[in-house]
Structure 1
Amino acid sequence: MSKLYFIRMKDIWQSVSAQDTLFWLANIYLFLEYVRPQTLYPSIAVIPFARITIALGMLFLLLGNLNRFVKNPVNKLMIMMLLVILISSANALSPGIAFSKVSDFISWIFIYFIIVNAINTEDRFLIFMLAFLLYSFKMSQFSFLNWVATGFSFRREGTGGGPGWFNNSGEFGIQMCIFLPLASCFYYALHQYWSRLKKGFFLLFPLTALTGAISCSSRGALVGVVSILLFMLFKTKNKLKVLFIVITTICLVYVLLPDKQKERLVASGQDNTSVSRLQLWGVGLDMVRRHPVLGVGYRNWGVAQTEVYGVQNQLLPHNVFIECAAELGLSGFLCFVLLIGYTFYNNYQSRKLLGSSADGRFLSLMADGLDAALVGYLVSGFFVTVLYYPYFWINLSMTVALRNVAVSRVETVPVVAHDAGVSLQQAGAR
């Protein structure tokens, strides 16, 4: 058992202060991406803090950790995705626009390698996950307070999560769909180590994630929440208990849901927004039919709308799968599907490595949370254009990092047990 399970600031700071530079850079990047002080305070935005942090992270990774580079099939899939993007860019309707944005995806590759190599122990994973949850809670409580200020009423623009990636209500709703299962699993895994006050504080995380999904006024977020609940019900062995939680949560959502939001749900598929998105999906599928292998080109959706379909008032595809297939063809779509599959497979492997032992409970439950977070992203992302947003790539990075931690635990336990002159069962009992 890690002493960090108690979430005491003194213990956390002692652990953080003892970590290497790469771990610090990974956490600084997470802070810059999710809190975005450079956006909150435009006067400091003249310096590209996030890009500098990524560049330094790769430098320290290559100089210090090259011999201990984390191995995982996802590594090759990320490189394969980059190759598809480069070839697609070269064959794009507008190669100039495509290549001008390739650096965005390269950044995600760098971030992936930094995180999976920096977060290589259980304590590091716990601290990194705690930071992720705290930054998400900053958004959710901000949204909740705004919703309270409006008297829990419906606003078509919804409540966002502050400047940056999550300012738009739909994009904020997706973050809440990721935050909800991770916060729930974090609480369930560690609450027995906390005081009542601390339990109350961390219980606010999933509760405000739920209210954030409601107040953002995104129907996709609500569908994402339901998909998460059903997925967790499907996975759990204690189905009666989880079924009670699912039913209670759905009833709570229904009670809190403003009447106009209920009307929008009933009108799904028939209102102007739904019809517009169905038309856009049809256009995207036509792009795949015309350019099946490599698509219209990386980040060339808008170019295709103008040059091929004569649409001047460009609208985004509002679907991560169609966005991927239309711009990168079936080649990119296959890479994306494989990355999704390997996310679930990595979490399955983590749970299998950790087994049912008490000392692996935290990591095993977080693997469940990462699975459910991915489900929430995929379902809510079915209605929003967010393929190159942080959601999927950060979740993937944490998944691979967790598996690496699980592998390390299995490899080190026999050695410790042998040195102590005890059996594996005795070592596990500790």
Structure 2
Amino acid sequence: MAAYVLVLLGPQHIWWWAFEGLRPFQLVALATIAGFVLAIARHDIGTTFLKTRINLFLVILLACMTLSYLFGPYVEYGPGPRHFDPAWLYKLTINIFLFYFIAVLCINDDRKFRYLSLVMVFSVAYLIYWINKQYLTGMAWGRIGGPWSPAGGHFTDENFFALLVVMGLPFLYFLGFYYKNLIIRYGLWLIIPFGWHAVFLTGSRGGLIGLATILAITVLRSPKKWIGVLLIPLFIVAYQWQAGDVMRDRAQDIRSVDETTTAQTRFQAWNAGLEMMKAHPLIGVGLASFGPAFPNYSPYPARVAHNAYIEVGAENGVLAFIVYIGIYLTAIMTLWRKKPMQLWMQPGHEKHYLYLMNEALLVSFVGFAVSALALSAHYHEGFFYLLILINFIYVKKMQASTESR
């Protein structure tokens, strides 16, 4: 939980002066790994939550990334610009996967699942407050990203900050149905329009598309359809009233295919990525090597792919491309099915929280999947955070299906 607070909320960037001279994630990592080893020694951890299709796909993906890093033809050099150092990115990748699998093994009951899910609730609620405060106090203007510090920040890029808000809003909506206390319920729901405004402030087209996506799926999956439907006119009013010139101007480009638009340049990058996959289907062009390889596969200026699926395939090979898509399909299909949850859907049932989180995760993950079509979001740690929770739901649904037979 502490690790994902640092990853999602980023207190070390919000209150950076309190963390000077410290390496908070390293401290948390050491304590977590030590506790994990002790838990294994006490036989407190089983492998039930490890043996899933999602985790198999992730292991294959990590293997593809490792081979790509070791043997990719453009890892050492290439004619195009290098946006990330392969050694640094591979180390980051190992850390992300390590913490993912530790979390999968440790989050092994409903109580721990609930605590971990609340990390997103508190993180996105505070970050929505934070960005609105930046705007209202005049501390920032134009396109606004996430918290920053002298050491940088996780979500200073406006697109990735918008994506985090899009991922978090479904948690606020569906969790509102869990609490009978009306102050808590309406308090959670009241944050949602400020969350819409937070995305408007980023000026992110991908974020706007993500909002439209989660809104549509929320209407379909809402426990009370009339409340979900009510969100549509409220969102339209919010957009017309509060979107601002920056968001409106950038939104116009979504429908434009003029050669000078961002949309057209992304099509060029996607075509280059597909050509890379054709030329290097086994291991790709190399980890973090999309930029260096770009001039050899496109006559246009080199850039990142701005598409997580294509970039994964181009850098790590066709198998990585397939399993990466397989992760999305497995997760969404698992969450979409309502069959094992008929009893869970009843308010007051001991599994009612799991049902609501199933719906929140479905909406959140579909929003991420759509946004990933226009963002190189495959290293977004929020993706792995969602997968930890989805993997837990996956196992619980399989167990419920087995018991019902």
> What amino acid does structure 2 have at the position aligned with 1:68?
G
Residue matched to 1:213: 199
For residues 91-134 of structure 1, the C-alpha deviation after alignment (integer angstroms, 9 at most, x for no partner) is: 31244554553222222221212222222222222222222211
Q: 1:221 to 1:364 in 2, by over 3 A?
A: same
1:405 to partner: Cα distance: 5.4
Q: How does 1:1-400 map to 2 (within 5 A)?
A: 27-39=1-13, 40-41=15-16, 44=19, 47-65=22-40, 67-69=45-47, 70=49, 71-95=51-75, 98-150=86-138, 156-162=142-148, 164-190=153-179, 192=180, 194-196=181-183, 198-236=184-222, 239-268=225-254, 269=256, 270=258, 272-305=261-294, 314-348=302-336, 352-353=340-341, 355=343, 356-358=345-347, 359=349, 360-400=351-391
Letter in 2 for 1:284: G
- Under a length normalisation based on structure 1, what TM-score does the superposition of the two structures give? 0.78
Mapped to 2, the partners of 1:107 and 1:101 lie a distance apart of 10
Aligned residues of 1:182 and 1:370 also touching (Cα < 8 A): yes
Tell me the distance in 2 between the aligned counterparts of 1:201 and 1:239: 20
Amino acid at match of 2:355: S
Tell me if structure 1 keeps the 8 A contact 2:146–2:154: no
CA distance, structure 2, for counterparts of residue 214 and residue 397 of structure 1: 29
Q: Alpha carbons of 1:106 and 1:210: their partners in 2 closer, same or farther (altered >3 Å)?
A: same
Q: Do 2:64 and 2:317's aligned partners in 1 also have CA atoms closer than 8 Å?
A: no
Q: What is the CA–CA distance in structure 1 between the aligned matches of 2:250 and 2:375, rounded to whole Å?
A: 17
SS at match of 2:287: coil
How big is the alpha-carbon RMSD for the aligned residues of Structure 1 and Structure 2?
3.1
Residue identity (%): 18
SS of corresponding position for 2:372: helix
1:388 positional shift: 0.6
Closer, same or farther in 2 for the Cα pair 1:200/1:273, shift >3 Å? same
The alignment's TM-score, normalised by the length of structure 2, stands at 0.83
Matched residue, 1:8: none
Q: Deviations over 1:75-100 (max 9, x none)?
A: 22221111111222233124455455
Shifted more, 350-359 versus 372-381: the winner is 350-359
Q: Is the 8 A contact 2:308 2:378 kept in 1?
A: yes
Q: Give the number of equivalent residue pairs.
A: 381
Q: Which one-letter code corresponds to 2:55 in the other structure?
A: N
* Distance (Å, rounded) in 1 between the aligned partners of 2:218 and 2:171: 12
User: Which 5+ residue runs of structure 1 have no aligned equivalent?
Assistant: 1-26, 415-430
Post-superposition CA distance 1:41-82 (Å, at most 9, x none): 268465543245335434433442465122322222221111
More helix by share: 1
Higher relative contact order (CA 8 A, sep 6+): 2
Q: Tell me if the contact between 2:253 and 2:261 (Cα under 8 Å) persists in the aligned partners.
A: no
State the 1:267 CA deviation.
3.2
Q: What amino acid sits opposite 2:3 in the alignment?
A: Y
Shift of 1:362: 1.7
Whether the 8 Å contact between 2:253 and 2:262 is mirrored in structure 1 is: no
Bigger drift between 242-251 and 321-330 goes to: 242-251
